[in-house]
């Protein structure tokens, strides 16, 4: 059964995924003479760089997500369908979704990536990932519930399992989560969980390579390590987590840590769609594209963002899977669609690295720009401004700004509520 979408004379561009890449592309194509169909398994866009603040009870989820329908309500040529896409048939030019099939003239795959557990099913079963706002909320509930429950436990070792946390992966997400947890331990626990001895809470950050923030400068990596250590985070470099059964984390050096919470921020792998030729799939489950973002060998199928693998000078192993690449590819592809409409040749994409940053805590961030890098309070202000401007929606920007101001002045995050989804039949 075809999904109900009006048949028109305009060419139909189907965009799968409304993340950074798919949303930017749809916005830029909305005013062109195409019919655009945006298909996403959620009815909202998620701002992933601030997931950790939702998980740490610093922001409400509604401040960092935005409904697609609201964004496109003025565009009569844009159709949003909430559905999971499972398969592509490039011969019949159809995609198959949980609600039926959709025909396309051009297809843009922008389905992003998911958590990579590197094939370890036991870890996948027990660890907590943070690749969606739902997962961030789950983590928030787990952290807060465990603090609540720990207050009911007398026995030291059992209590430690509830309050100690292990974070795997020393990239920006792992570093940001570790820093936020350390600040919670420092400012919140002594005030609100008075019977808990804050110094007994151990926050471990495990990183497989010899430095944090791989991909950033040595200067930034060292500064992040110094900040985290000063905050009391136990950072272990050159160490891999090899097993976790929900209670005990085992490292490759044989050491073990007992904890009920293993936060997994150690890697990503491209989301899968069946029906695409095997040859286009490269390492990390990415889709090999040419410099026009066309999936190799498929003229009318494009891929952008985290899922796309493009080689260019300076990026011989593909671009980093970050928001800037997704946004730049989306802008560029929108331009190329306009070129196609005018029967003009498409232009090759070229990535302009504008730098990268990570925050560790209040007045502590690291920033790498193409020619320089710096850290400290100024870097933190830059981090705040950049993220504030990047969030979609004026109301969201205002809410996030007010929250941050409030947190800064009061040393408090006021959203420590445990709200669990209602499951019928379960109390």
Tokens of 224: 């992040």
> Would you say 260 and 253 are in contact if contact means Cβ atoms under 8 Å apart?
no
Among the residue ranges 28-36, 216-224, 256-264, 322-330, the one whose residues contact ligand FAD (CB under 6 A): 322-330
Tokens of 417: 């509520």
Tokens of 64: 């960092």
Q: Please identify, using beta-carbon distances, which residue of 150 and 172 lies nearer to ligand FAD.
A: 172
Among the residue ranges 17-25, 188-196, 209-217, 370-378, the one whose residues contact ligand FAD (CB under 6 A): 17-25
Residues whose CB falls within 8 Å of the CB of residue 144, separated by 6 or more in sequence, listed in order: 57, 416, 417, 418
> Least distance from C-beta 88 to ligand FAD, angstroms?
10
Binding mask 251-290 for ligand FAD (x = CB under 6 A): --------------------x-------------------
Supply the DSSP symbol for 29: H
> Least distance from C-beta 46 to ligand FAD, angstroms?
6
Q: Please identify, using beta-carbon distances, which residue of 110 and 163 lies nearer to ligand FAD.
A: 110
Q: Is 73 helix (H, G, I), strand (E, B) or coil?
A: coil
> Least distance from C-beta 277 to ligand FAD, angstroms?
18
- 375/225 Cα distance (integer angstroms): 12
Contact between 129 and ligand FAD per CB under 6 A: no
- 377/300 Cα distance (integer angstroms): 47
Among the residue ranges 45-53, 228-236, 289-297, 412-420, the one whose residues contact ligand FAD (CB under 6 A): 45-53
> Least distance from C-beta 276 to ligand FAD, angstroms?
12
CB atoms within 10 A of CB 426: 7
Question: Phi/psi class of residue 250: alpha, beta or left (left: φ > 0; alpha: ψ in -120 to 50)?
Answer: beta
Q: Which of 3, 13, 30, 48 binds ligand FAD (CB under 6 A)?
A: 48
Binding mask 136-175 for ligand FAD (x = CB under 6 A): ------------------------------------xx--
Among 5, 15, 28, which Cα is nearest to 111's?
Answer: 15
Beta strands in 278-345 (DSSP E): 281-282, 286-288, 301-303, 308-309
Q: Please identify, using beta-carbon distances, which residue of 17 and 58 lies nearer to ligand FAD.
A: 17
Looking at residues 344 to 363 of the shown chain, list those that interact with ligand FAD (rule: CB under 6 A): none
Supply the DSSP symbol for 271: P
> Site size for ligand FAD, by CB under 6 A?
32
Main-chain dihedrals φ then ψ at residue 152, nearest 5 degrees:
-95, -5
Three-state SS across 164-203?
Answer: CEEEECCCHHHHHHHHHHHHHHHHHHHHHCCCCCHHHCCE
> Least distance from C-beta 306 to ligand FAD, angstroms?
4
For 387-423, give one letter per residue: b (16+ CB within 10 A) or e: beeebbbeebbebbeebbeebeeeeebebbeeeeeee
Contact between 112 and ligand FAD per CB under 6 A: yes
Contact between 324 and ligand FAD per CB under 6 A: yes
Contact between 110 and ligand FAD per CB under 6 A: yes
Q: Which of 36, 38, 108, 111 binds ligand FAD (CB under 6 A)?
A: 111
Main-chain dihedrals φ then ψ at residue 342, nearest 5 degrees:
-90, 10
Contact between 135 and ligand FAD per CB under 6 A: no
> Dihedral (C-alpha) 279, 284, 287, 293: value to the nearest 10 degrees?
-140
> Would you say 249 and 241 are in contact if contact means Cβ atoms under 8 Å apart?
yes
Looking at residues 213 to 242 of the shown chain, list those that interact with ligand FAD (rule: CB under 6 A): none
> Least distance from C-beta 364 to ligand FAD, angstroms?
15
> Least distance from C-beta 389 to ligand FAD, angstroms?
13
Contact between 17 and ligand FAD per CB under 6 A: yes
Looking at residues 283 to 312 of the shown chain, list those that interact with ligand FAD (rule: CB under 6 A): 305-307
Q: Which of 59, 78, 88, 130 binds ligand FAD (CB under 6 A)?
A: 130
> Least distance from C-beta 329 to ligand FAD, angstroms?
8
Sheet holding 281-282, edge to edge: 281-282, 286-288, 308-309
> Least distance from C-beta 265 to ligand FAD, angstroms?
7
Q: Which of 29, 78, 85, 263 binds ligand FAD (CB under 6 A)?
A: 85
Q: Which of 16, 163, 196, 203 binds ligand FAD (CB under 6 A)?
A: 16
Instruction: Count how many residues are written for the chain.
Output: 427
Interface residues with ligand FAD (CB under 6 A) are 16-22, 39-42, 48-49, 51, 84-85, 110-112, 130-131, 172-173, 271, 305-307, 321-324, 326
């Amino acid at each position: 059964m075809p999904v109900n979408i009006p048949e028109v004379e305009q060419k139909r561009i189907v965009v799968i995924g409304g993340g950074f890449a798919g949303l930017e592309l749809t916005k830029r194509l909305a005013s062109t003479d195409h019919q655009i169909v945006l298909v996403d398994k959620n009815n909202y866009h998620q701002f992933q760089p601030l997931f950790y603040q939702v998980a740490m009870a610093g922001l409400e989820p509604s401040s960092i997500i935005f409904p697609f329908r609201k964004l496109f309500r003025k565009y009569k040529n844009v159709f949003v369908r909430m559905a999971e896409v499972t398969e592509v048939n490039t011969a019949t030019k159809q995609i198959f979704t949980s609600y039926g099939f959709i025909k396309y003239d051009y297809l843009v795959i922008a389905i992003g990536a998911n958590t990579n557990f590197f094939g370890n099913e036991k870890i996948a079963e027990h660890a907590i990932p943070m690749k969606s706002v739902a997962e961030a909320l789950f983590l928030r509930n787990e952290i807060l519930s465990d603090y609540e429950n720990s207050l009911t436990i007398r026995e030291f070792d059992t209590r430690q399992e509830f309050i100690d946390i292990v974070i795997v992966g020393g990239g920006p997400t792992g570093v940001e989560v570790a820093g936020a947890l350390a600040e919670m331990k420092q400012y919140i626990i002594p005030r609100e969980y008075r019977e808990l001895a804050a110094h007994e809470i151990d926050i471990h950050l495990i990183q497989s390579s010899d430095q944090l923030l791989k991909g950033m400068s040595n200067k930034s990596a060292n500064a992040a390590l110094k900040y985290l250590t000063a905050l009391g985070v136990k950072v272990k470099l050159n160490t891999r987590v090899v097993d976790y059964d929900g209670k005990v984390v085992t490292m490759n050096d044989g050491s073990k840590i007992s904890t009920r919470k293993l936060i997994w921020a150690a890697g990503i792998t491209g989301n899968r769609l069946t029906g695409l030729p095997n040859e286009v799939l490269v390492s990390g489950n990415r889709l090999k594209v040419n410099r026009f973002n066309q999936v190799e060998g498929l003229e009318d199928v494009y891929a952008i963002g985290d899922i796309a693998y493009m080689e260019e000078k300076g990026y011989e192993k593909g671009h980093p899977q970050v928001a800037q690449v997704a946004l730049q590819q989306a802008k560029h592809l929108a331009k190329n669609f306009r070129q196609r409409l005018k029967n003009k040749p498409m232009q090759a994409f070229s990535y302009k690295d504008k730098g990268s940053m990570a925050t560790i805590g209040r007045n502590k961030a690291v920033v790498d720009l193409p020619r320089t890098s710096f850290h400290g309070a100024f870097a933190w202000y830059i981090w705040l401004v950049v993220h504030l401007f990047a969030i979609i929606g004026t109301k969201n920007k205002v809410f996030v700004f007010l929250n941050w101001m409030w947190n800064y002045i009061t040393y408090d995050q006021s959203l420590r509520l445990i709200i669990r989804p209602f499951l019928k039949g379960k109390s």
